[in-house]
Chains A and B, each alone.
Chain A
Amino acid sequence: MNDSGCIHLSNFKAAKGANPYKIVHAFFVSCTSYEARRYKATSCLCFACGQTGPRMHSCLHCIYFACYGGHVLDHSKTKKHFLYVDLSYGNIYCAQCQDYIYDREFTDISRTLRMKEAKSLGISVPFTPWLPNANEAMALRRMRKRRLISPHTTIGLRGLQNLGSTCFMNCIVQTLIHTPLLRDYFLGEKHKCKTQGSGKCLVCEVSKLFQEFYSGAKTPLTLHRLLHLIWTHARHLAGYEQQDAHEFFIATLDVLHRHCMNGVEDTEKKENGRCNCIIDQIFTGGLQSDVVCTSCSGVSTTIDPFWDISLDVAGPGSLQACLERFTRAEHLGSAAKIKCSNCRAYRESTKQLTLETLPIVASFHLKRFEHSSQIDRKISTFVSFPAELDMTPFMSTHRRAVDAADNNNAPQGIFEDNRYSLFAVVNHLGSLDAGHYTAYVRQMKGSWFKCDDHMITRASLREVLDSEGYLLFYHKTVLEYECDVS
């Protein structure tokens, strides 16, 4: 990789250093202050034609703005000034090379100033493409072979040894490993851990697991360290006897969430009081609960975070029907009066749950296990679930609009896209007493596999959709950029 500019730029830097570039960038490219923005707004016009473009450049040798429509060239001919800063991105144009050239020192300056700009405007840092540092570039040069994920290879697949009725763990691990955003996070080595190497961090352990899954090895993995870590940090699982995959999933997320904090400085921990660890970024949504007083129609609203949604299975139906029931207003009855802050009295009320914010991964738990004082039973009723799911009807905003019977003014904007696609299904086979868990996972679009402990076999989407379904995992189809303008 060669990003050391050109001979002309090197000569310029030797004579004048990087300061002229810094100044031009800070004032007219990144505009790191209010002052700078004012300068840019009032003075960035081509000195030759007075136009705002096309593509404004600033001379690096003298104070001169020129558009790319010929006037950069004119200036370089008359003045013999050959280096120009493009005012949109801060790249250098060399009129002698007749091309844009890239210098690592200037690129780094540009990135620093962009961060300053974001801070000054109170916005998040804009996207910049990844650049390898010297070590990374060396590694890329030395190891030229690139491992690609394709639907025809086993890369990314791995069987998991059953450690003695640990299929509940294996199916959850398969699900997590095949969660697209988690994969990107871990294969991008984003987890920076303070306790590195201590063997006590579950996030580090999962990070290692990802390396194992993508190593190309074929023998089943033994997750004994993972099990030990989770049991150590989630004592309430009470060990071996309690082997509900759903409970294990929630406990695993909780331990991961707590361990994510290992590598984070205290100051970064919370953004607007919200945890921004990778687990919360992916799995946390907001559940809105509206309690409406039947006397005064006063509404009391609370919003709670959730990691998954547990749905009652009442007769054959569909996931959508379950969600519809889940978000329906429910009369709490005369036995459960709630104090209305408006009436200052205990009143009958209705309660409605809706989804205020959606997580990137929506996890549904079908309550197939019924435990009451009289009877423990498994409900094997067929509940259909779609490969593609639109969550819009279950959103708080949508429900409000429907209730107001005012569909024309539905607040859901054109930018809102709440489509999800299925990427993992955990199934419970057998009875309550003797059962077994397996998981279907999507390795890539249209490529499904059945994970039964150490055995991984190909599966069809039809097979997945026809399975009973205990835990269903959906991934958001379109990811929005964060735009938290404060």
Chain B
Amino acid sequence: MSVRPTAAILVAPGTNRDRDVVLALDLAGADSVVVSITDLERNANVIDAAQMIVIAGGFSFADALGSGHVFALELEMLLGDRLQQAVSKGRPIIGICNGFQTLVRMGLLSNGAGPMALDHNERGLFDCRWVTLRPSSEKCVWTQGIHENIECPIAHGEGRFTADTEVVARLQSNDRVALRYVNGNPNGSTDNIAGICDESGLVLGLMPHPENHVVPRQHPKFLRGSHQGLCLDLFRNGVTHASA
């Protein structure tokens, strides 16, 4: 029997970083099945068979009607409460970039904390650059035990985490701020928040792309001999948890 868990990677028309996540999960020890909206329309049970669930980055439905919004509406119609059920079974879920936007729109990350959203970047433009992230939650199964900063690119126009002070305070006091930007906040996110988890710690949403730094030479300073902050441990954490 295979010890490698299987991840269901949910994609919509416009999702485009699914291949990058497949590589990251493969290196971290998991197999992947890419599950499209069409697949879910035919048989939504396919995701129940997966030990972990990923909503990959991209521009689902061209960002029409707001980033992640239509994908969230589709998933709500197609999945009902299957994602909540997966959480109750202890299965880790990660939403990256557009996947984060989708999870927020579905309300999977705001539960117990209050309203939140991902707004246009402070500068109003799409921005592609490398950022440094400080893992800051022991509750989040994806970041727990990672004590070094990780580094990876952002590539988004709507990544400014927005919530009022009380919401952020609740996230903070419940150890749900999973990742913070350090050495510069690229998009004006409240309290430098780059990623948060849900109350269970199983669901992580983040704007940056850890799947693009799973091999050392992907780091821009690799050619200067000063690369650091590989993100593979984040995926290994998810895989370990999915195998448990």
A and B are interacting partners: no
